Every structure is written in C-alpha cells, then in structure tokens.
Structure 1
Amino acid sequence: MLGGTFDPVHLGHLRTAVELREVLGLHGVHMIPAAQPPLRDQPQVSPEQRLALLRLGIGDTPGVVADPLELERAGPSYSADTLAVLRRRYGNDACLVMALGHDAFLKLAGWHEPERLFELANLVVVDRPDHGSPLPPALRTLLAGREVESVEALMARPYGRLLRLCLPSRMAISATFVRERLARGGSVRYLLAEAVEAEIQAKGLYLQCDCREG
C-alpha cells in the first residue's frame, strides 16, 4: 500500500511504487488516494479527479494499480482502517506492507491508532539523505522492538515490523512544487507523466496555487 493525496500524482510517486515492488519483491503495489486526508486540509482537486489522474499516470505499469478503496467509504481516510480492509481482502497470512515517506514517518506516533498499523502490516519508510536525524521520543517508543535492518527480516512476518529503506532514485519532486508551477503557467515537463500533464491542461486543473505542503 502506497497512500497519499496524490495532488497531483507525479513521477516521484510513480517511480517510488515501481522501485518498492522491485526492492521488496512485492506481488503488487496499491496506490490509494486519500478521500479525506486527516492531517491536512482538503485538496483543491476532488478525490475522483485525483484518482483519474493516478490511473492515467500508472497506465500499463506492471504490478501497480490505482485502488479507490478510500473513496468508497465515508469519513477521514485513516490508514489503519484501509489496512484492515486490505487484511480482510488478502487474509491473515499475506505479508502486507505500508510505505510512507520520511516526513510522514516522523509524525507517525500522532496518527490515528498507530499501534494498530503494526497489528495489520509491516511498514517501510522511504528515507531521504538526512534520515540520521534524531527521532521524536514518542516515535522511538512506538518503534521499540519493531525495527529491522533487511528486506528479508521485514518480509519474514506478515505484520509488525518496520524497515527504513533508501530507494535507488530518490526523486526529489514534491506535489507542492508541481502545483506552484501549474498555477503560474510554468513547465511541468518531466515532473508529471505525459498523460497526467495533458489531462490537467485539458481540464484546467490547479490554476490557483495551493501552496500548502502535500
């Protein structure tokens, strides 16, 4: 599971999904756009539009799917609830993995039912070069006894472990940067998949700058 607002989906998101599948040896990666992200304001583009852009971006990429799971239920898009659905879908023995970025990881102890995340899945943190900075005390407590050092150790159990992982490309693209460029008419070539860029231009999306992080 790779969740997020995908506001809009960019090549960093898509490349992360591909590399996670390869590095972890996953059967597939579900990219799940949040309908109502609980830790930020509602995106200016609707969940349905973001899902449509995500499907265009993924195209025929093997093993990567756009999953509307969080658009199919009411209320905030809590990751624990999403993982519970996936656990029921794939059974108790399936190895489920939830991937998240480093910034989200640092706030993990403040998420909705963070302990429950580990009862349902393994977590993978896509690290960045400064990942050696000290962790908040509450996060250190949450991670106690859960962190492993290898993909093999992570995948040996269906849930309960965490791995911090450096992916090969680590593309430094942010959706905030993309939105800013779109709002002022700047080029987003090679930041977005061509089909995503074409749809945004055709529908006139992101013409107003929402410069909040995300």
Structure 2
Amino acid sequence: MVRSPELAPLGILGGTFDPIHFGHLRLAEEARQQLRLARVRLIPAGRPAHRGAPGARAEQRLAMTQLAAAGNATLEVDAAEVLSNAPSYTVPTLERLRRELGAQQPLVLLLGADAFAGLPTWHRWRSLFELAHIAVATRPGHSLDTHALPPELAAVCDERSTDASALATSPAGCILRFPITPLDISATAIRSACARLESPRYLLPDGVVDYIAQHRLYREAPCEPEEEPS
C-alpha cells in the first residue's frame, strides 16, 4: 500500500495584535523555520475574552495585521474572529479550522511560555489537544520547567511532549518547545509611546506605523497589559 504523503503543518498564531509588532512576526518566522511549517496563519481576536477592550477597534487591528503580513507569502491573515459577534476563544476557532482544512491537516498552535502556563484557565483547554499540536516558544537557554506548571498541565506535558519531527505525521496532540530570539517589544509599550506622542518606528512594520499615525490610534491613556486569547 502506498502511504499518503505527509501534509506540511500549518502554524496558528492568535492574539489581540493591539498593535501587531516585530515580536509577533519574528515568533512566526522562527516557528516556521524551526518547525518546518508550510505557513503561519495570523488570527486577530475580535472580542478578546480575558482582557479589557483593546485600544484599537477589531477592524483596525485586522487592517494592521494585513499590512504587517503583506509581501510575505508564508503569512496569511484570518479575519473570521473579527467578523464574528461571538467572544474569541481558541477551541471554537480550531474547530472551525478543522472543518475548513480537514481532519488530517496538522495544525500547530503557537504560544509563549507564559500563555502556555496559564492553559488550564482557558475555555475547554483539554480539547485543544484533539484539534492541534501546541508549540511553546522559549528563550534560548531556558527550558519549560514542568515543575512550575499547574499539576494537571505538567501531567499532560509528560504524556504529550515530543519534537518537531512528529508534527507532520499526525494532525494534533503533541507538545513541543522551540527557542526564539528574545525581543524586548510589547504592544503595551507601543501603546504607551503613542499616548506620549512618541514614534513607535522600528518596533513594528512601517505600514503599521503609518496606519497608527493616519488613524491617530492610541492617543488616549494606554490600555492594560495584553493577554493571550483563549
């Protein structure tokens, strides 16, 4: 019997993207290279479920994400959460992608270490492993300390941890770690700079800088620190 060819994994990077910046884009690029992803899909949250109202409207954050991804064929932007009236949760989004892409397509949810540590607080978090692999970005020289994780998550890590070679051979269910270049850039700091009428140039793509200036975004008092959607 001839074996079906392996499907290249698709990376999934969700976030408020308020605004999207080079830290997000570098994470996507390094994940793509190290994990051998075909592409990375950027998914701006429409109505983030676990934080206050973003500083920019959903359609503005979508427009900035599209500007940031322009010209990079390995990045694609998914507008579905922005166009939906429902709160943004990761499990329903992955269920939608499964309907769209099929049961055999490997999906790789990209998370930072802090977001991963908070996974047990997420909506239907155990269902994540039925829908996608999870790749956790760590700083070089730092491993993910399972002893510091909630016990229920540490147990799942012990059961499911693997390396990147497993991603293309199954559609979901694995946990792996990959190092990324640490960039001291945050959306919170960018919003604060804009509120002080300081330029955020070189912290995010020029098209996004120009969009922020054109629409006079973040001129009010800075918002609370960003949180990952769940």
- TM-score calculated relative to the size of structure 1: 0.93
SS in 1 for 2:43: strand
Matched, 1:108 2:122: no
Partners of 2:144 and 2:13 in 1: how far apart? 23
Deviates most, 186-195 or 109-118? 186-195
SS in 1 for 2:149: coil
Shift of 1:170: 2.7
Structure 2 CA distance for partners of 1:87 and 1:132, relative to 1, 3 Å: closer
Shift of 1:44: 2.2
Alignment of 1:125-136 (within 5 A): 125-128=136-139, 130-133=142-145, 134-136=148-150
Matched, 1:138 2:149: no
CA contact (8 A) 2:138 2:144 kept: no
Equivalent position of 1:153 in the other structure: 166
Structure 2 CA distance for partners of 1:99 and 1:132, relative to 1, 3 Å: closer
How many correspondences in the alignment? 212
Partners of 1:75 and 1:143 in 2: how far apart? 30
Equivalent position of 2:88 in the other structure: 77
Residue number among 44, 60, 63 corresponding to 2:55 in the alignment: 44
> 1:35 is aligned with what amino acid?
G
CA shift digits 1:66-92 (9 cap, x unpaired)? 110212322211100000111111111
Equivalent position of 1:205 in the other structure: 217
RMSD, aligned α-carbons: 1.5
Equivalent position of 1:23 in the other structure: 34
Partners of 1:31 and 1:41 in 2: how far apart? 21
CA shift digits 1:98-154 (9 cap, x unpaired)? 111111111101100011110000011111355544222232134340111x21033
CA contact (8 A) 1:121 1:159 kept: yes
SS in 2 for 1:145: helix
Matched, 1:166 2:179: yes
Deviates most, 22-31 or 196-205? 22-31
SS in 2 for 1:85: helix
Q: Which runs of 4+ in 1 moved over 6 A?
A: none
Alignment of 1:50-61 (within 5 A): 50-61=61-72
Equivalent position of 1:186 in the other structure: 198
Residue number among 103, 113, 118 corresponding to 2:129 in the alignment: 118
Partners of 1:42 and 1:19 in 2: how far apart? 30
Structure of higher RCO (CA pairs closer than 8 Å, 6+ residues apart): 2
Partners of 1:143 and 1:113 in 2: how far apart? 17
Equivalent position of 1:176 in the other structure: 188
Equivalent position of 2:5 in the other structure: none
Q: Which runs of 5+ in 1 are unaligned?
A: none
SS in 1 for 2:159: coil
Identity of aligned residues (%): 41
- TM-score calculated relative to the size of structure 2: 0.87
CA contact (8 A) 2:40 2:76 kept: yes
CA contact (8 A) 2:48 2:88 kept: yes
